Amino acid sequence: MSHLSPDQIDRVAALAHLTLAPGQRERLAADLERILDYVDELTAVPTDGVPATAHVHDAAHALRPDEVRPSLSNAEALANAPDGDARTGVFRVPRVVGG
């Protein structure tokens, strides 16, 4: 069963910022078809009466309760920063994305 048209394959490639060489569209289409076929198989599994879960184990006690506790003041935190600006109260960091 074909899930995706050639235009949809091109759209997925564009959304993923992929430039497809000749022949790669067919390979991408085949890979996506296998993925969607597997999703169809999973969808066909009867799950009536199975409770919905977010985790495979009981995570009810995994997190501590929120409690207000003492913390560093802005001045103390900025004192530990290699390039903190006490006037504005911010940390300056080098740009890591973009140019």
Round to the nearest angstrom and report the end-to-end CA distance of the chain.
Answer: 45
- Residues 68-95 have a mean pLDDT of 84
pLDDT tens, 1-14?
Answer: 578 888 998 899 99
**How far apart, in whole angstroms, are the C-alpha atoms of residue 93 and residue 99?**
14
**How far apart, in whole angstroms, are the C-alpha atoms of residue 67 and residue 73?**
17
- Residues 33-40 have a mean pLDDT of 94
E strands, the chain, are: 84-85, 90-91
62: in domain:
no
Q: How many separate domains does the chain show?
A: 1
Q: Note whether 83 and 92 are within 8 A (CB).
A: yes
16: in domain:
yes
10: in domain:
yes
Instruction: Extract the tokens encoding 7.
Output: 């235009």
58: in domain:
no
Q: Name the nearest CA neighbour of 28 among 5, 49, 1.
A: 5
Question: Which domain, by its residues, includes 20?
Answer: 6-44
Degrees to nearest 5, angle at CA 33 with 31 and 39:
110
- Residues 26-33 have a mean pLDDT of 91
Q: Note whether 35 and 4 are within 8 A (CB).
A: no
What average pLDDT is seen over the chain? 84
27: in domain:
yes
71: in domain:
no
65: in domain:
no
Residue 23, domain CATH: 1.10.20
